[in-house]
Amino acid sequence: MPALIRRPFVFLRHGQSTRNLERRIGGQHDVALTPQGEEEARRARALLGDIDWSLVAASPLQRAYRTAELALGRAPDRVVDGLMERHWGELEGQAIPETIPYMSTPAGGESWEAFVERIADTLNALLEEADTPLIVGHSGLVRAVRWLTHGTPAGPRSANAVPLWIAPEGTEKWTIRALTPADLRQPARP
């Protein structure tokens, strides 16, 4: 199993998308934000907009890219294909099932292992490059990070446009929780 470099980052899931509103799997379908999603992204600006980010990287899917623009008042520094949501194959566009089959490979889709490896490789490259970057993407990223740091994708679904602090704790643990202004006053790595 790949491992994440033990450095903190901030994650922002996109605002409500048309697929979220319909309770359907968005996957790599490039769907827009709803008016509510745009407003959620604008509200995130209160916490994120005045920070001099070392790097802002966003998924190329418009729901994430547009969230970054609205939350920051500017375009992200970089669009990164590796931050795209998992490809759910034939499940994309279908109603979200009561139990989501994270560990199964959907017909025509991306396996869990390939998805987690893609997310780990992408995050590690960004963490090597920048101190505490802002990553704007999709809920699957948090599931992959939970798998990498806690051994399970289980946990609460990340809320739309609510910044998360994802950081190592001690020598082995990780924290994933709502971002606070104090988190960003942490000393930079040497």
pLDDT at position 26, please?
Answer: 96
Per-10-residue mean pLDDT of the chain, 190 residues long, equals: 92 98 96 98 93 96 98 97 97 92 94 97 97 96 95 91 95 93 66
d(CA 38, CA 66): 8
- Which helix or strand (DSSP H or E) is residue 91 part of? none
d(CA 48, CA 43): 9
pLDDT at position 157, please?
Answer: 86
List residues with catalytic annotation. 14, 85
The structural domains of the chain, ordered by start, are 9-181 (3.40.50.1240)
Helix (H, G, I), strand (E, B) or coil at 134: strand
Q: How far is CA 22 from CA 33, 53, 98, in A?
A: 12, 33, 14
pLDDT at position 123, please?
Answer: 98
Q: What is the pTM of this model?
A: 0.94
pLDDT at position 70, please?
Answer: 97
pLDDT at position 190, please?
Answer: 42
DSSP 142-157: HHHHHHHHHS---SPP
